[in-house]
Amino acid sequence: MAAIRLLELLILLAILSGFLGMLLRRNLLLKVLSMDVMGSAVVALFVLVAARTGLRSPILSTNETAVSLAAIADPIPQGVILTAIVIGISIQALLLVVISRLASIDPVLDVASFESDAPSTGTQR
């Protein structure tokens, strides 16, 4: 099995494990951790896709030959990778702030405790 295929398989397993963690875990902090694993695996997948065409950076000098032009990495996935990293970190920071606020209400951070309707304080008519 080629090394690229093995890396693709490992990355897809990491994406699947992060997705299953988001679905199956009841703790909000573990859900955020699973989302981070899945996001990191997606970034790794983009890195792998960008490295298929070559490993050299796309910065060219004036005396580059046609042979060396074929081994240049694609710059478009690299831009997508940087954007995905920034968006992933900002979403994770926002979720951790929300979870820290929710921890003051219920320190267990179980999803079921936040889904149930709280009893109303007013009288019913």
The one-character DSSP state at 106 is -
Helix (H) or strand (E) holding 64: none
Confidence of residue 4 (pLDDT cuts 50, 70, 90): confident
Tokens of 117: 């309707």
pLDDT of residue 40: 93
User: Is the pLDDT higher at 118 or at 59?
Assistant: 59
* Cβ proximity of 21 and 34 under 8 Å: yes
* Cβ proximity of 51 and 82 under 8 Å: no
What confidence tens digit (pLDDT) does each residue in 77-114 have?
778 888 989 999 999 999 999 999 989 888 888 888 87
What confidence tens digit (pLDDT) does each residue in 104-124 have?
888 888 888 877 665 555 455
Confidence of residue 125 (pLDDT cuts 50, 70, 90): very low
pLDDT of residue 61: 67
pTM of the full structure:
0.75
Taking residue 48's Cβ as centre, other Cβ atoms within 10 Å add up to 15
User: Is the pLDDT higher at 76 or at 19?
Assistant: 19
